[in-house]
Structure 1
Amino acid sequence: MNLKLNLAVTLFMLLFFYQTKAASTQIDCLNSIIQKKSVYDGQKKARIQLLEKKLAKISPQNAEAQYQTYLALYEEYKTYEFNKALFYIKKVQQLCELQNNDQRRSAAKIKLAFILVSSGMYKESLDALLQVDEALLTVHEKIDLFTLMARNYYDLADYTKDEYYAPQYNILAGENISRALALTDSTGFNYNYYLGLKLLKEGKIGLAQERLTGIAKQPDLSEHQKAIVTSTLSDIFIQGGKIGEAIDLLATAAMADIKSSTKEAAAMLNLSLLLFQKKDLKNAYLFINEAMDDANYYGARQRKLQVSANLKIIATSKVNSVDEQRRIMTQFTIALSILSLIIIVFVLVFYRQLLKIRKADALIRETNHSLNLTIDKLKESDKIKEEYVGYYFNINSEYIDKLEHIKKSVENKLKHKEYEAIKLIVGKINPSKERQNLYLQFDKTFLQIFPDFLRDFNLLFQLEDQFQLPENGELNTELRIFALIRMGITDSNTIAQILDYSVNTIYAYKNRIKNKAIVPNNEFEDYILKIKGL
């Protein structure tokens, strides 16, 4: 029954969480990067503020400095905010008109066309590009012109997606890329990327993948370069049905866009659509909202329309999914309620058995505890007996030797009738001194058995009331009384006989000591009995 119950619960957890699980660790990384989006945008804004401060300080007569600063501000804004980029490229065009510089005028039209195509204004972008006089351009500007023309036509082909115009747009795009490649360094990023893009659009998937993968592995790519390469590579994997790999590539592209504060939102949008296909509605909804925020911020008209259309679809599916999950949750809740009742019955049975086991365990522990205490007391008693048996054998042996020596001396003196000498022998016997020696031997033996007795005894008193031993280690009367108690001699009459005091004197000593203690009088002797021996 327990095995079936565990399997049922496990199945429920797997079914419930399956749809919400992320398909890739790259998705987790992207979610983490999104949390830091304001940091990267803050860096972008800081650079813009520096340029705007620089612009404010430039003299109106210094047209060249204004021109260069306007261009720098345009470069910061061109993938970040359309209206600002448009504002500054218009400023550049005004200066070109004032300077009557045809070369710069043509270059400015290319830059204007870039932001127009980025915002989805394909006709306006082509109109601007077709007005450019190629003869006035530098080599790099010609490359920009041809690649931008190619992008324009490719975007138009993707937008129309028909059987008549789209192929024509792709042909025109390919022709412009060929013109750009003829002018580009074959070892550089632009050459290899646009060649890979051209091969992809021509259907040469293997060659395109090989070319673009080689670029993606380069360690010195900028974030923007990384974004466009991985985003383009994702198209190859999508065409090959490898959606998991495509999701990872688009997540990488989206992270690069965030780090470079690029607001065109293409990678984030495409990623959300793939996740929507994979039924990962949670992340699809999150990412398409990010794409919508970026499109609104940048002001890309075509992208806003594209994102908003898909946002409605994903949002509707998410709502429907939530309703479906609630229905499933209701069914599982009922099933779990039944399982819970079964579990409760088993728990009650187990609990009753557990109570019985606990009672038995408590009895066993109590018995073991009592047994251990008894064993400890027996060990201690054996130790005391061992020490004091040896001690009394030595004392008795010494006294027998003394008596034998006195007996021989007296017999010898009686034999020779030396009665005065006998008196001298008897006079040398000192019972008080002998008793004192007996006590000293007792003290020595006791402290060997209980070396920490004085330390533990002093813990029961304030510092000023604690005891100190003399150098010879002799216990005073108070300590000796409680030493006898620690050895188990608790009867006051017996203690009085051993120490040669009256019973009242013993009581007086005990009460005086107990009154100084920091523990209650009636518990004092219990503390004494707890002092450990060796």
Structure 2
Amino acid sequence: MPPDSLPKTTEGLLTLLDEEIERRYEYVAKPLQRIDSIHKVINTTTDLKKKLNLYEAIGDQYDGVNADSAILYFTRGIDMGIACGDSVLAQRCLFKRCLQLTIIGAAKECIDQIKSAEDFGIYPENRYRYYATGRFVYYNLAVFYPYRQSVDTYLSLGLPYAKGCLELTAPNTPEHELNKALIHHSLKQGILHIAHLNDVISLSTSLDRNFVQASTLLGEAYMASGKDTDAINAFAAAAIANIRNADRHGTALMRLGMVLYSQGDIKSAYKYLATALDNTVMGGVRMNSAQISQALAPVQNDIHVIERNRFIFLACLIAVLLILLGFIVFLIIKQRKEVIVLKTMKKRLSNANMVKETYITEFLNLCSANMEKTEEFSRLCRRKITAGQSEELLHYIKSGKVSEEQRNIFYNIFDDAFIHIFPTFIADVNLLLQSDKQLVTMNTELRILAFTRLGMDDTTRIARFLGLSLNTIYTYRNKLRNKALNRETFESDVMKIGQIA
């Protein structure tokens, strides 16, 4: 897009304005670079007349960038002009300084200096600048003071200066049409005022300061008549032109923020008003600072409300998310526990199946061993009886060797089968016993506990299986309870060994 072209739509203008705001320091850097170059020339010349023109040139470069610095160099121009006898240039610098005094809020001092110049006499070369300065002061005061009576007063005071400018400008030029617009504004002829402002815009480029002033005044007129969209377009165009001209003194950005705030666009209003305030501070435009600060206060309050509500919303959202996250973590942990339990149960069921198979195998082994011993005993009986050794056979039977061998076979098979069913039985029993009463291998005491764990509460049957008397079984049980950590719950604790939780 060419540097002096502007979009036609509101969205396009605001988008371009946002881009130019980001680049505003680049535009300001250009006049500052020119100022540095002029300083180098000043330091190398001894010609007072040339220095006088260079000081004025530096003041011109500071115009729009920093009012205080511009005042400083225009003052030097006045002093040096008087010292050199160049009263025309000194008076010209005086009028330029008056513009800057108005910008920093010293309008009364400016008016006094204009009147002093009138009393002294206006040089013909400075007549237009004299009228332009008076016009600038009073029309700016009319904008600065919003009270109707003050506005009318300053417009009336500015009218002669606008007419003086009109007489000294060529027809069909931006400057000529701008003066016409200001005259109609003073006379409260709104339609003609707007028409001539549009003529200024059509005759000038966006880099022309007449374009900036006309667009700003046009925005004021539209805002006063309730045409907010047209006002936004005019103010946005003027603000873009101000930035491109490195002019921090314009009021367009401030007015744009005020219109957008009235439409409820708080975010954009805050952005433009804050940028306008930054411009006024950097540019020393104290005349605008009060208005911008006043306009910015309610916007900041609304921004704080929005931020507080957003914070509350985010806090609530985070709280909900944390609760949800906690619930998800709880479900995951619960699911993992259930998976672990299922895996454990699966493993135990698998072990139970293996134990069942082992138990069946051991049962078959026991039956097979019993059948084998029975057949062996039958063969022995037949052989002894056939050989006439009945008494020897009777003696063998009475010796109990047959029963003892059968019982040992039973113990071996029972111990092996039971340990397969409860592989940690001995260790689990030891956890219930005192540390110095631990058991190491399967013995009579552990077999009694094994029968108890299998649910066999018939002491007579246990005694028969183990080949012991009832009293012996009771004695063993009593000894085991005495070894236990908890005598009262010992047998119930034994029953819990190997249970699936």
- Aligned to 1:288, which of 245, 252, 273? 273
Q: Is 1:67 the counterpart of 2:49 in the alignment?
A: no
- Aligned to 2:40, which of 17, 41, 53? 53
Q: What TM-score do you get using the length of structure 1 for normalisation?
A: 0.55
Stretch moving more, 129-138 or 283-292:
129-138
Identity of aligned residues (%): 17
Q: Which amino acid aligns with 2:87?
A: D
Q: CA deviation at 1:70?
A: 0.6
Q: CA deviation at 1:23?
A: 6.5
1:223–1:257 contact (8 Å) kept in structure 2? no
Q: CA deviation at 1:44?
A: 1.9
Q: Is 1:87 the counterpart of 2:87 in the alignment?
A: no
Instruction: Give CA-to-partner distance per residue, 1:222-267, whole Å, 9 cap, x none.
Output: 3423221211111121122110111111111111111110011411
Q: CA deviation at 1:272?
A: 0.9
Q: Which amino acid aligns with 2:43?
A: A
Q: Which amino acid aligns with 2:84?
A: Q
1:197–1:232 contact (8 Å) kept in structure 2? no
Q: What TM-score do you get using the length of structure 2 for normalisation?
A: 0.58
**Pair 304,160 (structure 1): closer, same or farther in 2 beyond 3 Å:** closer
**Match for residue 28 of structure 2?**
41
2:88–2:126 contact (8 Å) kept in structure 1? no
**Pair 158,254 (structure 1): closer, same or farther in 2 beyond 3 Å:** closer
- Aligned to 2:177, which of 167, 172, 192? 192
Instruction: Give CA-to-partner distance per residue, 1:178-208, whole Å, 9 cap, x none.
Output: 1221222223221111211221332212112
- 3-state SS in 2 of match to 1:217: helix
**Match for residue 309 of structure 1?**
294
**Pair 314,257 (structure 1): closer, same or farther in 2 beyond 3 Å:** same
Q: CA deviation at 1:326?
A: 5.7
The structure whose Rg is larger is 2
Q: CA deviation at 1:295?
A: 0.6
Instruction: Give CA-to-partner distance per residue, 1:265-299, whole Å, 9 cap, x none.
Output: 41111111111111111111111111111111111
Instruction: Give CA-to-partner distance per residue, 1:360-397, whole Å, 9 cap, x none.
Output: xxxxxxxxxxxxxxxxxxxxxxxxxxxxxxxxxxxxxx
1:134–1:142 contact (8 Å) kept in structure 2? no
1:292–1:304 contact (8 Å) kept in structure 2? yes
2:88–2:125 contact (8 Å) kept in structure 1? no
Alignment of 1:317-466 (within 5 A): 317-324=302-309
- Aligned to 2:13, which of 26, 49, 66? 26
**Match for residue 400 of structure 2?**
none
Stretch moving more, 23-32 or 250-259:
23-32
Stretch moving more, 87-96 or 325-334:
325-334
**Match for residue 110 of structure 2?**
125
Residue correspondences, number: 314
**Match for residue 155 of structure 1?**
140
Q: CA deviation at 1:166?
A: 3.5
2-structure distance, mates of 1:250, 1:148: 23
Q: Is 1:172 the counterpart of 2:157 in the alignment?
A: yes
2-structure distance, mates of 1:177, 1:269: 25
RMSD: 2.8
Q: CA deviation at 1:139?
A: 4.5
Instruction: Give CA-to-partner distance per residue, 1:410-464, whole Å, 9 cap, x none.
Output: xxxxxxxxxxxxxxxxxxxxxxxxxxxxxxxxxxxxxxxxxxxxxxxxxxxxxxx
1-structure distance, mates of 2:173, 2:82: 34
**Pair 265,166 (structure 1): closer, same or farther in 2 beyond 3 Å:** closer
2-structure distance, mates of 1:158, 1:224: 18
2:219–2:234 contact (8 Å) kept in structure 1? yes
Q: CA deviation at 1:162?
A: 3.6
Stretch moving more, 325-334 or 217-226:
325-334
2-structure distance, mates of 1:41, 1:219: 22
- 3-state SS in 2 of match to 1:24: helix
**Pair 39,164 (structure 1): closer, same or farther in 2 beyond 3 Å:** closer
Alignment of 1:146-295 (within 5 A): 146-218=131-203, 220=205, 222-295=207-280
Instruction: Give CA-to-partner distance per residue, 1:49-85, whole Å, 9 cap, x none.
Output: 11111111111xx111001101111110121111211
Q: CA deviation at 1:305?
A: 2.2
1:139–1:183 contact (8 Å) kept in structure 2? no
Instruction: Give CA-to-partner distance per residue, 1:117-141, whole Å, 9 cap, x none.
Output: 1222110110111111488545452
**Pair 160,232 (structure 1): closer, same or farther in 2 beyond 3 Å:** closer
1:40–1:260 contact (8 Å) kept in structure 2? yes
**Pair 254,158 (structure 1): closer, same or farther in 2 beyond 3 Å:** closer
1-structure distance, mates of 2:246, 2:263: 28
**Match for residue 529 of structure 1?**
none
2-structure distance, mates of 1:133, 1:101: 18
**Pair 219,98 (structure 1): closer, same or farther in 2 beyond 3 Å:** closer
Q: Which amino acid aligns with 2:26?
A: V
Runs of at least 5 residues in structure 2 that lack an aligned partner in the other structure: 1-8, 322-501
